[in-house]
Amino acid sequence: MLFNLLIWIYVFLTTYALGRLLFSVLGTDVKKTFGNAGICTEDICMAGFMVSTVYAQIFSIFAGVGLAANIFLVFVCIIFYLTRFIKSTDKKFSSFIKKISPSKCILIMLLSLIMAYGASRGYFHFDSDLYHGQAIHWIEDYGVVKGLGNLNGRLAYNSSSFAVQALYSFAFLGGRSYHACAGFMALLVMISGLRIFHVFKDRKVFLSDFARIASIYYVLNIYDEISSPASDYFTMLLICYIAVRLIEGAENRADADFYAMPVLLAFFDLTVKLSAAPLCMAVLIPLVMLIKEKRYKQILKYAVCVLAILLPFFIRNYFLSGWLMYPSTAIDIFDPDWKISAQAAEIDADYIIAFGRGFSNMDSAHYAFSEWFPHWMSGLGRTEKVLLLSSFAGMIVWLCGMIFSIAACRKKENDKNYVPDYIILAYAVSFAFWLFSSPLVRYGQGYILMLPLLTFGSVYVRIIDALGEKKAAMYLSKGAICFIGLFVAYKGIMLGKYMKSVDYEPYYVQPQDYGVYETYKVDLGGGHYVYAPVEGDQTGYYDFPSVPVNLDLPELYEPDADDFSGGFMS
């Protein structure tokens, strides 16, 4: 727990500096506000987290992501802080301290302690000891390795989250590899979500507050799992965060520069997990605005940013598997001699789909909707079924409300803001993509939480707007505020009960570590060995490198090399 907090301080200092640098390069005024919306500290840190991830991926193409990567990162951040201090008109530290709200600092410190407690213990994801830890270890030691997917197909599931976790793992100190990044991102999302407390002051509930409810729910739902370095949590946390910022921008009629950052985060989320790709359709919001304003230079800047986000990801894909989007074989451009065969990639893709649908046989990946959906639905828990049905019902209600709103606006001939509806559409498309691809709840929990709240929330907002100053609107507002208060209180009580139930675990200084499993050595020839598990398929982090099964192991690309940096043949 203590080490998580120390790492988070380092992550905060570096991501804040990188975030401010990015906003500066883009020419975004971080002090500009639009009603209740504006660039906040968590926006800057989230942007910086994205930059640090891109940086870690680029570094991994040339070398292992360890001490050297951190030295250069710290050097850049020190230059930023020194330059900012020199340019500052007020250099007195006492004046700077006076600007900080003591109450907010105390609340953030308390929240950080609570989140660090959760990130130090709990359920350690099965896949983290299956391949997440190994993927991070490869990046720490070697960076990207040609044909690594031939050694273990799961290591070709390239997620940018593994690169940033290698950057902040501190494995180069020679002790252990820490995995505190999921907890840090959850902290940022939680801070953003808890801004919902404004409703008790403003006496009004906005659509963005419904998105905040979903964000809080999701963070608390994975509170006992964020000790694991699983990419799914990063994906869904970004899904929640982006929704809040996009909706808030739409409510306050923000400019294109405000929308640009959550849209860039959507492209970043694509590199964490390809299934997040449909959310990138939100790019049309700032793009249309920029075209109308004829700000073509700014469009070019954002296009370069998108390219910088995506290019390292695709380059890493190419080296790891020979494919641009493994295990998808839709884009087949290159044919390096370390390329995983198309047949193996298709089998892997079928396995992911079948697993997501709750089947053990890969033929189910090709079942018709009427065949697999009832089976999948029957395997869901009660809460998950309610959320799923609410998503379907919410989309129907939202469509009816939008049609009614369009008809009403035509009669009144007034200006209606349809940006929130387009954002809801983007989440509906993302939800559909998840449902019809690999609908494991863990892969799409953010969608089934966010979609019903956004759809029903939009109807609520329309009703409030239609009622105007009538008493019914006041009663509805008070009811929603009471619901938010009860929701936060209930989740707080449940969180306290969970924290009490695990207070005996000895993770107050060092957080929970990867598992240790019984393995044996497998000779690859030339004095090179890998580890294989005696039982099961998990090997953890420390027996490195490892394979889940001792079958059909590949040949080394450079058998005479001293290490594995040459990669593996197909």
Residue-wise pLDDT for 296-305, tens only, equals 999 999 999 9
- What integer pLDDT is reported at residue 402 of this predicted model? 80
CB neighbours of 240 closer than 8 A, spacing ≥ 6? 189, 193, 211, 214, 215, 218, 219, 446, 449, 450
Query: How far is residue 343's CA from residue 348's CA, in Å, rounded to a whole number?
Result: 9
Total number of domains in the chain: 1
**Is 300 a member of any domain?**
yes
pLDDT tens digit string along 226-264? Answer: 999 999 999 999 999 999 999 999 999 999 999 999 999
Q: Which residues of the chain have pLDDT under 50?
A: 93, 96
- What integer pLDDT is reported at residue 535 of this predicted model? 93
- What integer pLDDT is reported at residue 83 of this predicted model? 86
Query: How far is residue 241's CA from residue 243's CA, in Å, rounded to a whole number?
Result: 5
Query: How far is residue 303's CA from residue 70's CA, in Å, rounded to a whole number?
Result: 27
- What integer pLDDT is reported at residue 278 of this predicted model? 96
Query: How far is residue 389's CA from residue 402's CA, in Å, rounded to a whole number?
Result: 20
**Is 444 a member of any domain?**
no
Amino acid at the residue 287: L
**Is 350 a member of any domain?**
no
Query: How far is residue 61's CA from residue 413's CA, in Å, rounded to a whole number?
Result: 56
CB neighbours of 162 closer than 8 A, spacing ≥ 6? 132, 135, 136, 139, 229, 231
**Is 243 a member of any domain?**
yes
- What integer pLDDT is reported at residue 65 of this predicted model? 97
- What integer pLDDT is reported at residue 275 of this predicted model? 92
**Is 489 a member of any domain?**
no
Place of tokens 């957080």: 511
**Is 173 a member of any domain?**
yes
- What integer pLDDT is reported at residue 169 of this predicted model? 96
- What integer pLDDT is reported at residue 427 of this predicted model? 96
CB pairs under 8 A, 24+ apart, for 29-37?
29/257, 32/258, 34/249, 34/252, 34/253, 34/254, 34/255, 34/258, 35/251, 35/252, 35/253, 36/198, 36/206, 36/248, 36/251, 36/252, 37/248, 37/249, 37/251, 37/252, 37/254, 37/258
Q: Which domain holds residue 172?
A: 2-337
- Of 122, 322, 150, whose CA–CA distance to 230 is shortest? 122
Amino acid at the residue 20: R
**Is 560 a member of any domain?**
no
**Is 219 a member of any domain?**
yes
